[in-house]
Amino acid sequence: MLLESELPDLQAILKKIKKNTNNGCWEWTYGVHSSGYPLVHFRGRQMALHRAMFFVFKGAIPFGQIVRHACDNKICGNPHHLELGTPGDNINDSCLRGDRKHFKIPRDIVEQLQNDEITPEEVAFKYGANLKYLKLVRRGVKRWK
C-alpha cells in the first residue's frame, strides 16, 4: 500500500518512464545500474525499479521470493509484466533460454545479489558457496568469475 509520503517518489519515478506501445512495457528512460536494472529512490533507499513498482501496485514481496519480469525486459516497470517467483525460477528460465549454463552460479543470481533481491545467505545455502565471498561479490568488491 502506497503511503501519501511516498507519492513524490512515485511521481519522480513515473516521470522517467516511457510506455512502449509496441510491447506494453513501461521502459525506464534514464541510466541503469551495471546489473542492467534501473535503480530508483523509494522509501528512503535505493531499490530496483521493478521491485518498487511491484510494491506500489501489487503489494509486499514475500520473504524468499523475487520479482521477475514476465516480459524479460529488465528496464520495464509495468506492474502487469511483473510476477513473483523464486530464485530457482530465474535459473530455470536462463537454462531454458540456453544461455549462461556454464556458470556455476548464474549471473542472474549475482545480479540479484547486488540488487539486494536475494541475500548472500540464501545463495550460500542453495549453492554451498562461500558466504564471505558472496558478501564481497554483493558489495562489488569482487567480480564473479
Residues that bind Zn ion (CB under 5 A): 25, 71, 73, 76, 78, 81
Cell numbers linked to 144: 564473479
Shortest distance, CB of residue 25 to Zn ion, whole angstroms? 3
CB closer to Zn ion out of 52 and 134 = 52
User: Phi, psi (5° rounding) for residue 40?
Assistant: -125, 160
Shortest distance, CB of residue 82 to Zn ion, whole angstroms? 8
Shortest distance, CB of residue 57 to Zn ion, whole angstroms? 13
Shortest distance, CB of residue 76 to Zn ion, whole angstroms? 3
CB closer to Zn ion out of 74 and 138 = 74
CB closer to Zn ion out of 71 and 105 = 71
Cell numbers linked to 101: 549454463
* Interstrand relation of 45-48 and 39-42 (parallel, antiparallel or unpaired): antiparallel
CB closer to Zn ion out of 57 and 144 = 57
Provide the 10 A C-beta neighbour count for residue 60: 8
